[in-house]
Structure 1
Amino acid sequence: MKIAILGAGNMGLSFSKSFLKYELIKPENLHLITRNESKIFKISEEFPKSKISIFNDVKELDADLIIISVKPQDFKNVAENFQFKLKENQMILSIMAGIKIKKIQNLLNHPLVVRAMPNSPTLLGMGITGYTSAQGISFSQLINIERLLNSTGRSVYLENEELLDGVTALSGSGPAYFYYIVDAMIKAGTEMGIDENLSKLFVEQTMLGAYHLINNSDKNLEELIQDVASKGGTTEAALRSFEENNLKDILKAGILNAEKRAKELNG
């Protein structure tokens, strides 16, 4: 398989590294395309055996799969300035937030589109990607796409494309929510007089341990909370404050706003 990645930013490059790590493609069959000429040298250092190009210089694209990883706000301009024509059998995999399959098909005048929403832990091979496809994509083609996506973590196929905006808000943006909470916890630690690095260690290890408990326990989240929150204790005092300040509602409202923004990106 030959793969071209249009938009060699963080996500595009993390996908590339996963594909090469698991030997799903050969380095010489990877074509990385950037619009930023200043990035060429650095990308070439990371991928010395792959083809690296500036977008405006690509007159013909020899690839079985073209992964579009540009910012959704830039897609219309990019699509209108292709210097090459898509071939009938080329597959498109979009990892742009919000841009629906129909819009991609219309702007590219091309039917074979799969739309996916990964998240940043793909950098470590621990991401999760929701994806869906246009009609006319064969089962074998989807299996090939799934193999590629699974090299970055896990993937889930969704029959209903509308759910991808929710996936974008929940898992695509989700890592930032955890970083935000971790940052607040670390800062609370420093206010209590704990050295910042030590506070960071306590919070990060707590987050890691809590994840493993969720993943390995038969108990639901409410039961796990109650295991920590003894009556009249310190955890209960914190949880009461969260409830009084509607923290859960604030978090849910933020996630729903992320979904709303994803829908707006389609234009």
Structure 2
Amino acid sequence: MKIAVLGAGNMGLSFSKSFLKYELILPENLHLITRKKEKVNKISKLFPGSKVSAFEDVKEIESDLIIIAVKPQDFYFVVENMSFQLKEDQMLLSIMAGIKIEKIQHHFNHKKVVRAMPNSPTLLGMGITGYTAAEGISFPDLMQIERFLNSTGRSVYLEDENLLDGVTALSGSGPAYFYYIVDAMIKAGTEMGIEENLAKLFVKQTMLGAYHLINNSDKNLEELIKDVASKGGTTEAALKAFEENELKETLRKGILAAEKRSKELSN
């Protein structure tokens, strides 16, 4: 299978590296396309054997699958300035946030469109991607797409495209929420007199360990919390302060605000 990546930025290059790492494609079947002509040589060195082009020089794309990995705000620049025509049997996979399938179909004048919402841990091959497809995409084609997406972590197919706004808010934006909480914990540590690098070590290792306990325990989250929060103890004092300040409700409102903004961008 031949793949073209339209938008050779962080996410586009990350996907490409995963495809090559797991030998899903051969280097010579990968075509990377960048808007910035000055980056062609640099990208070529990172991907020996692959074709690398500047967007303005592309007159034809021979690939079976074209991944649209440009920023959403660059979408209209691409459709207004592309000098190539899509073939009927080529498939488009969009990883642009907020741009719906119908809009992609309209502006590219092309029916075979799959839309996916990855998150930043895909850069390490530990991401999760929600994806959906236009009507008429065959099951074998979807399975092929899923193989490529799974090389960057895990993927989940969604029947309803509207759920991608929730996926954007929950997992697409999700890493930033964890960074925000980790940052608050580290700052609390330094306030208590713990040196910053040591506070970072305690917090990051605690987060890593907690993740593995969630993933490997048969207990639900309430039970895991109770295991740590003994009656009258330190954890109970912290949780009581969280409840009094409505931390859980604040987080819920923030995630719903992200979903609302995703819907606004889609429209």
- The TM-score normalised by the length of structure 1 is 0.97
Please give the per-residue CA displacement for 1:84-135, whole angstroms capped at 9, x wherever unaligned: 0001110000001111110100010000000011111111211111111001
Query: What residue is the counterpart of 1:242 in the other structure?
Result: 242
Query: What residue is the counterpart of 2:261 in the other structure?
Result: 261
Letter in 2 for 1:43: I
Q: Where do 5+ consecutive residues of structure 1 fail to align? A: none
Alpha-carbon separation, structure 1, partners of 2:68 and 2:193: 47
Alpha-carbon separation, structure 1, partners of 2:249 and 2:77: 38
Alpha-carbon separation, structure 1, partners of 2:249 and 2:76: 35
Please give the per-residue CA displacement for 1:131-150, whole angstroms capped at 9, x wherever unaligned: 11001111111111011011
| Cα drift, residue 37 of structure 1 | 2.5
Alpha-carbon separation, structure 1, partners of 2:238 and 2:34: 48
Q: Is the 8 A contact 1:119 1:128 kept in 2?
A: yes
Query: What residue is the counterpart of 2:3 in the other structure?
Result: 3
Q: Is the 8 A contact 1:4 1:32 kept in 2?
A: yes
Q: Does 1:218 align with 2:225?
A: no
| Cα drift, residue 77 of structure 1 | 2.2
Query: What residue is the counterpart of 1:233 in the other structure?
Result: 233
| Cα drift, residue 242 of structure 1 | 1.0
Q: Does 1:142 align with 2:142?
A: yes
* Divergent runs of 4+, >3 A: none
Query: What residue is the counterpart of 2:14 in the other structure?
Result: 14
- The TM-score normalised by the length of structure 2 is 0.97
SS at match of 2:266: coil
Number of residues paired by the alignment? 267
Q: Is the 8 A contact 1:214 1:221 kept in 2?
A: yes
Query: What residue is the counterpart of 1:75 in the other structure?
Result: 75
Alpha-carbon separation, structure 2, partners of 1:115 and 1:128: 14
Alpha-carbon separation, structure 2, partners of 1:120 and 1:78: 23
Query: What residue is the counterpart of 2:192 in the other structure?
Result: 192
Alpha-carbon separation, structure 1, partners of 2:151 and 2:189: 37
Alpha-carbon separation, structure 1, partners of 2:63 and 2:178: 37
SS at match of 2:88: coil
Alpha-carbon separation, structure 1, partners of 2:38 and 2:203: 38
Q: Does 1:85 align with 2:90?
A: no
Letter in 2 for 1:7: G
What are the within-5 Å matches in structure 2 for residues 40-51 of structure 1? 40-51=40-51
SS at match of 1:265: helix
| Cα drift, residue 71 of structure 1 | 1.1
Q: Where do 5+ consecutive residues of structure 2 fail to align? A: none
Query: What residue is the counterpart of 1:171 in the other structure?
Result: 171
Letter in 2 for 1:204: K
Alpha-carbon separation, structure 1, partners of 2:6 and 2:176: 25
